[in-house]
Amino acid sequence: MHRSTLLSLIKSLNKEEFKDFEKFLRSPYFNTRKKCFDLFTIIKQAYPNLDANPKLQKEVVFQKLFPMKNISESTALKQLSSELLSSLEKFLKQQAFEKRGTFSDLLLLRELNNRDPKYYKSYFKKICKKQAQKQSKGINHFYYQFLLNFDAFIFDSSSNKPTSNFNEILQNLEVYVLVEKLRIYSLMHNSQLIIESDQIDFTELNPIMEKLEKAALIEHPIIDIYFSILQIFRGQNQYFPKLKQLLKSYKLPYTELKEIYTIILTYLNTKIQEGQVKYKGERFDWYLEMFYAGLCKDGKYIHYRHLNNLVTLCLQKEDFVLAKELIDGYASKVLPQYKSYSRYYNIAIWHFYKNEFEQSQKHLLKVDFIDSFHQIETKTLLLRIYYEENETIALLDLTNAFIKMVKRNKMISSRHKESYVNFSKAIKQLFKLKSNPNTKKEQVEEFDNSLNEKRLHYSSWINTKILELKESKCYVF
């Protein structure tokens, strides 16, 4: 059972969802077969460690559920697993339905239209009041408002009553369609940066942007938000302050706000990778605001990579105080399995930027590798420590081993593999130039120029080391 779709989907449930799924299966309304619950009970005994758990071997599970049957002749377990998977799918549908409160209200409203017109009117007023009281009004607000008004129009029409909200219906539809278009174009720009493609056609966006540019006042702040994002993608950097102000004054739902910050940071990261260092300050400000706004969380926990990134950005700015405050205040707020890694890795990199390389290496030894990303980040930091400490053998051995490790890793994208391999080769070549007393100016210049067109991790650090080598007293001209 270890590689089944059922277990894969169950692993995606958090503890609360897993408990709720058990309640779901206990309900005779949702589950009418006891064997389904029996299979769940066996899985529950192994949860959350479902990978390669001996309790979930096909033969063991089959024997418990069907002791009188022959496993080689029976498909009973396969059929039962399929039924439990179907129940899990229904549970996830129910979860999604409950999360989309307004949409579920609209579905109930349409049922009431067919069942009890009098109660329909009362419930319609209730939904309208709820909509008006919502503090955050994202794209879906206008979509639901359109559906709500259109539903009322259909109700009045079926009752042969004149409607007075026809203009409002069209206005909400126009706002929703326009904002959704702008959002999709923003996501397309973002995707284009990530996959480094110029094949996406933005021709149809131009007349929309021209119309908005000519407007004396953009009617809805949410339209202005996405208009500003697209202007930034067009290189209009004066829209950064305006966008920040709009996001502070207009309250958007969490997921929509997080998406916008992610889009902006992707844009800024791309510009910096292109060598436009003027964007570094802007990136830091956006990232810090995103972090303090609680947009770097997975559920109730902070994602460790966001903490790592922000600590590193602080250290690059030589803001050691803020970096230490972030480590002390938030390393304990990442997912429990990442707490140890997050604390020791960030303390190690904090010491590294303070040129305390022995202390940095000491804390790196305490880091536990949970996934390949942790291992790669730790090894790249260790390479930089070896460079600074002039550990020739250790550096040369690790660069060779690191390149092999990266190339064999199937979890890393080809783009990132190239970047890590180039970094490893660059630091090896740079170390040879540094350790050779006969290194000439032309050799360093040639090495520097060779990196211009290459995708390279830690390019800022490499560039700093090249500059140090150029300015070294022992440099041969």
Q: Same domain for 210 and 232?
A: yes
Q: Same domain for 149 and 204?
A: yes
Helices 414-435 + 392-408 axis angle, to 10: 170
Percentage of residues in the chain with pLDDT exceeding 70?
97
* Residue 475 clears pLDDT 50, i.e. is over it: no
Q: Same domain for 305 and 317?
A: yes
State how far the Cα of 110 lies from the Cα of 155, in Å rounded to an integer.
9
Q: Same domain for 375 and 365?
A: no
* Residue 198 clears pLDDT 70, i.e. is over it: no
Q: Same domain for 268 and 340?
A: no
Q: Same domain for 228 and 174?
A: yes
Average pLDDT, integer, range 169-177: 89
The answer to whether 295 touches 254, Cβ cutoff 8 Å, is yes
Q: How far is CA 441 from the centre of its chain?
A: 44
Task: State the pLDDT at residue 473.
Answer: 45
Average pLDDT, integer, range 1-15: 84
Task: State the pLDDT at residue 300.
Answer: 87
**Burial readout 260-296 (b: 16 or more C-beta within 10 A, e: otherwise):** bbebbbebbbbbbeeeeeebbebbbebbeebbeeebb
- Could you list the residue range(s) of the whole structural domain that residue 251 is in? 134-278
Q: Which is more confident, 359 or 154?
A: 359
Q: Which is more confident, 158 or 235?
A: 235
Q: How far is CA 325 from the centre of its chain?
A: 24
Task: State the pLDDT at residue 411.
Answer: 80
Q: Same domain for 376 and 243?
A: no
* 115 domain-assigned: no
* 120 domain-assigned: no
* 128 domain-assigned: no
* Residue 38 clears pLDDT 80, i.e. is over it: yes
Task: State the pLDDT at residue 52.
Answer: 77
Q: Same domain for 266 and 138?
A: yes
DSSP 390: T
Q: Same domain for 82 and 142?
A: no
The answer to whether 151 touches 109, Cβ cutoff 8 Å, is yes
Q: Which range has the worst mean pLDDT, 96-100, 295-299, 446-450?
A: 96-100
Q: Same domain for 209 and 265?
A: yes
Task: State the pLDDT at residue 177.
Answer: 93
Q: Same domain for 250 and 145?
A: yes
* 285 domain-assigned: no
Strands 297-298 and 301-302: antiparallel
Task: State the pLDDT at residue 259.
Answer: 95
Per residue in 100-138, pLDDT (tens digit) is 777 888 888 888 888 888 898 899 899 888 888 888 888
* Residue 363 clears pLDDT 90, i.e. is over it: yes
The total number of structural domains in the chain stands at: 4
Which of 278, 307, 340 terminates a domain? The answer is 278
* 387 domain-assigned: yes
Per residue in 238-294, pLDDT (tens digit) is 999 999 999 999 999 999 999 999 999 999 988 887 778 889 999 999 999 999 999
Q: Same domain for 361 and 375?
A: no
* Residue 199 clears pLDDT 90, i.e. is over it: no
Task: State the pLDDT at residue 91.
Answer: 95
Per residue in 10-37, pLDDT (tens digit) is 988 988 999 999 999 999 999 888 999 9
Select from 195, 201, 242 the least CA-distant residue to 221: 242
Which of 370, 393, 428 terminates a domain? The answer is 370
Task: State the pLDDT at residue 476.
Answer: 45
Select from 316, 379, 319, 374 the least CA-distant residue to 342: 374
* 362 domain-assigned: yes
State how far the Cα of 102 lies from the Cα of 467, in Å rounded to an integer.
58
Which of 246, 278, 310 terminates a domain? The answer is 278
Per residue in 368-391, pLDDT (tens digit) is 877 788 889 999 999 999 999 999
Task: State the pLDDT at residue 267.
Answer: 93
Altogether, the residues listed in the chain come to a count of 477
